[in-house]
Amino acid sequence: MASLPLIIKYLIVFLVSMVPIIELRGAIPIAEGMGLDILLYYPIAIIGNMLPVPIIYLFARKVLEWGKDKKYTKKFFTWCLEKGEKGGNKLKESAGNKGIFWALLLFVGIPLPGTGAWTGTLVASILNIDFKTSISAVTLGVVLAGIIMSLGSKIVAVLGWTGVIAIIAIILIAVLFSIFYKKKQHNKA
């Protein structure tokens, strides 16, 4: 990829960030791996990730509802609807109506498997969250995911995987020590 023209590298970042499931969470490490400038790849990845969101919000549920009865799409479309409804109901239960904005933002923003702009927008449309709230929460969630992925990618680039594993091990040891120390203090009382 080193021999590719710079514009093509940024185009790859843009296109990868639009792909469901991969989104900006995959595009940013790719950009880092290609040695691209964060000041350019970060907004490009966000724009690419957000471009499908209004379309997903307005049409995804309608397409899934239509396709869940068709011979070749029934299984997949039903799975998508069930996943969206299950995730949406879980989100609504934990957040309530007033906290749904923040819950959606965090759902999209914390880069875990099965979360992201596509899933978050589908959940928002299934839950009938209004367009403005949905788009705002998803946008801020994508920005948060971008920050997390950029930091993670930079840390891996600087420290290497060995350094990252060492940091995680130190954090885990500190957490375990804290838990055991508190437990010991609680038992004394």
| pLDDT of amino acid 121 | 93
Q: Residues for the chain: how many in total?
A: 189
| pLDDT of amino acid 150 | 92
Provide CB contacts within 8 A for 67, sequence distance 6+.
73, 74, 76, 77
| pLDDT of amino acid 1 | 66
C-alpha–C-alpha distance, residues 114 and 111, integer Å: 9
| pLDDT of amino acid 19 | 94
Q: Which residues of the chain have pLDDT under 50?
A: none
| pLDDT of amino acid 36 | 94
What are 10-34's pLDDT values in tens digits? Answer: 999 999 999 998 999 999 999 999 9
Rg (CA), the chain: 20
| pLDDT of amino acid 158 | 84
